[in-house]
């Protein structure tokens, strides 16, 4: 691959946008030609590339693709402008603020044949990639349940959405992806404990295809940062820690305990525990490599805008369930 074969830009130089600029500044086959942010002027955060005050000026500089890392409320407006100008886009999650906005973005990019993806970075976490491969190979047998826990202190940079649209979309996307099963319905409860406009805690119970259950516990209220995915099935359970990129398998076994008190608490017998050795690469770098390849037409391992739309729809159903106090079916106005 020749150097600087694609011209890329970053829209929004907040915490995530700066990370995108860092990776793009050294990504093989890509030249970071500029960024846009109305409030940032320090070119150290853009790694020496020009910083434009408007998206229009950045696009006028000539782009093959752009990373959209501005606030969620602006994703639709910016994404539609890029599509109208023939620019491919990697849009940070969530794809859009609303179902309708997500649908419009899907239509805008697909109708023009433009590559567009969503930055659900957990798909590129080594532990989850390894987990997906093992589930696909049948190492767990039938999948019974997926439980995720995602908690930590509130990130001050988030102002326009709550914990459902921000953090929980990671869990919604990764659950559907690692299991290969779509969401059918959700039941959720949210709370606002910190006095902010949007919810900062959510508990979700979801029904997946093939009779599997998912549970998501997400909050911005804990001093403990945790990113855990547990998949339980016919042959045992996998535990993925995406903070450390560790994957462990706890197998069912034939060895029972002779300690009667402990035996009474065990639903299955204990088997071997295996912690897998996994090659670890930075997920954001892998995400950018995959998107670059998709733009070049030599790969398709990206989170498509249509998949991102599905995640927005599930997150909207979660919020609706919490508001109405009911179980909400997940449906879409667009075909899969």
Q: Measure the CA dihedral 75/7/294/118, to 10°.
A: -20
Q: In this structure, which long-range contacts are made by residues 232-235, counting pairs with CB atoms below 8 Å and at least 24 apart in sequence? A: 232/143, 232/144, 232/145, 232/146, 232/147, 233/140, 233/141, 233/142, 233/143, 233/144, 233/145, 234/140, 234/141, 234/142, 234/143, 234/144, 235/139, 235/140, 235/141
Per CATH, the homologous superfamily of domain 6-120+284-302 is NAD(P)-binding Rossmann-like Domain (3.40.50.720)
Q: What angle, 0 to 180 degrees and rounded to 10, lies between the N-to-C axes of helices 75-84 and 99-111? A: 10
pLDDT at 43: 96
Helix axes 283-296, 15-24, angle to 10 degrees: 60
pLDDT at 3: 45
Q: How far is CA 221 from the centre of its chain?
A: 20
Please give the pLDDT value at position 155. Answer: 76
Q: Which residue has the tokens 């649209």?
A: 165
Query: Structure pTM?
Result: 0.91
How many angstroms separate the CA atoms of 315 and 71, rounded?
A: 17
| Gap between the Cα atoms of 222 and 210, Å rounded | 33
Residue 88 carries which DSSP code? E
Nearest to 170 by CA among 312, 65, 274: 312
Question: Which secondary structure element, helix H or strand E, spans residue 186, and what is its range?
Answer: strand 183-191
Classify domain 123-281+314-329 at the CATH superfamily level: Dihydrodipicolinate Reductase; domain 2 (3.30.360.10)
Q: Tens digits of per-residue pLDDT, 81-94?
A: 999 999 999 999 99
Alpha helix segments (H runs only) across the chain: 15-24, 55-60, 75-84, 99-111, 126-136, 169-179, 260-263, 283-296, 305-324
| Residues recorded for the chain | 336
> What pLDDT, on the 0 to 100 scale, is given for residue 253?
82
Burial of 224 (0-12, 13-18, 19+ CB in 10 A): exposed
**What kind and span of H or E run contains 275?**
strand 270-275
Strand ranges of the sheet holding 270-275, from the earlier edge strand across to the other edge = 270-275, 246-255, 236-241, 221-233, 143-153, 213-219, 201-208, 183-191, 328-329
Show the tokens assigned to 135. Answer: 């589930």
**Weakly modelled stretches of the chain, pLDDT under 70:** 1-4, 157-159, 254-269, 332-336
Distance CA(185)–CA(111), nearest Å, equals 30
Q: Which two tokens stand for residue 128?
A: 């989850």
pLDDT at 1: 40
Domain boundaries, the chain: 6-120+284-302, 123-281+314-329
pLDDT value, residue 275 = 95
């Amino acid at each position: 691959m020749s150097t600087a074969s694609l011209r890329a830009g970053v829209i929004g130089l907040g915490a995530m946008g700066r990370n995108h600029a860092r990776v793009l500044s050294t990504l093989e086959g890509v030249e970071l030609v500029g960024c846009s942010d109305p409030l940032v002027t320090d070119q150290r955060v853009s790694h020496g590339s020009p910083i434009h005050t408007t998206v229009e000026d950045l696009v006028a500089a000539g782009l093959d693709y752009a990373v959209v890392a501005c606030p969620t409320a602006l994703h639709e407006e910016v994404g539609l402008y890029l599509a109208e100008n023939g620019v491919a886009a990697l849009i940070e999650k969530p794809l859009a603020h609303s179902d309708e906005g997500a649908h419009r973005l899907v239509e805008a990019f697909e109708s023009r044949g433009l590559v567009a993806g969503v930055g659900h970075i957990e798909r590129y976490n080594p532990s989850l990639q390894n987990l997906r491969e093992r589930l696909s190979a049948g190492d767990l047998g039938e999948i019974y349940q997926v439980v995720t826990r995602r908690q930590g202190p509130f990130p001050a940079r988030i102002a326009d959405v709550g914990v459902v649209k921000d953090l929980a979309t990671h869990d919604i996307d990764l659950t559907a992806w690692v299991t290969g099963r779509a969401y059918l319905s959700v039941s959720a409860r949210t709370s606002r404990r910190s006095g902010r406009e949007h919810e900062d805690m959510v508990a979700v119970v979801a029904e997946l295809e093939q009779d599997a259950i998912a549970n998501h516990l997400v909050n911005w209220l804990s001093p403990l940062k945790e990113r855990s995915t547990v998949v339980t099935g016919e042959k045992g359970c996998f535990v993925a820690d995406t903070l450390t990129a560790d994957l462990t398998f706890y197998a069912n076994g034939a060895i029972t305990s002779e300690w009667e008190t402990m035996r009474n608490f065990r639903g299955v017998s204990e088997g071997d525990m295996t912690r897998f050795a996994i090659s670890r690469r930075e997920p954001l770098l892998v995400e950018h490599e995959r998107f670059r390849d998709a733009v070049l037409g030599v790969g398709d391992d990206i989170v498509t805008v249509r998949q991102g739309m599905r995640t927005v729809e599930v997150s909207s159903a979660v919020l609706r369930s919490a508001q109405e106090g009911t179980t909400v079916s997940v449906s879409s106005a667009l075909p899969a």
